Amino acid sequence: MEFARSKKGIYVSQRKYTLDLLNETEMLESKPSKTPIKLGDKRKMFEGSPVDKGRYQQLVGKLIYLSHTRPNIAFAKTPRKCLFFRKTTERKVEVFTDANWVGSIDDRKSTSRYCIVVWGNVVAWRSKKQTVVARSSA
C-alpha cells in the first residue's frame, strides 16, 4: 500500500499492487470491458489445458484483497485512482447498520448492510442478502 500526505489529509493507493497483479497475470496490456461475461453464462472459462487450482485460488484471493482495499476496482481498471482520508478534528468512530424487511419479493429475504466511519471517513462497508427468511427483528 502506498501513502501520500498533504495538508488536507492522506491518500492511500494500491497502484503498485494492482500493476503487479496485472503483470503477473499477463493482463497489463488488456483493455477494460463493461461486462466481460453475461450474468448466468455457463460456458467454459478456459479452453485447452486444465487450470492449476492452487494458482487460481491464489489469484482469486489477491483479487478479493484488492477489491476490499480498492472498491472502485470492481467497476474499472483504474490503478492511478486512490482513496482519500480527509484531515478532520472529529475523533469518533461511528457504525451504521440497517436491513430491509423482506426486501426481495421473489424469496422474501432481507438485505443487511453496514458502514464504519472513523474520524469522518468511511473505512469499511458491506451489503449482504440474508441466507434465511427473517421471521422477526431484534
Per-residue model confidence as pLDDT tens digits over 57-100: 888 888 888 877 776 666 556 666 777 788 888 889 999 998 88
CA atoms within 13 A on the CB side of 63: 11
CB 83 within 8 A of CB 10: no
Mean pLDDT within 110-135: 83
CA 108 to centroid of chain Cα atoms: 26
Q: How many angstroms separate the CA atoms of 73 and 14, rounded?
A: 10
CB 98 within 8 A of CB 127: no
How do beta strands 83-86 and 121-129 pair?
unpaired
Closest CA to 82 of 135, 137, 14: 14
Give 9-29 pLDDT, tens digit per residue: 888 777 888 888 888 888 888
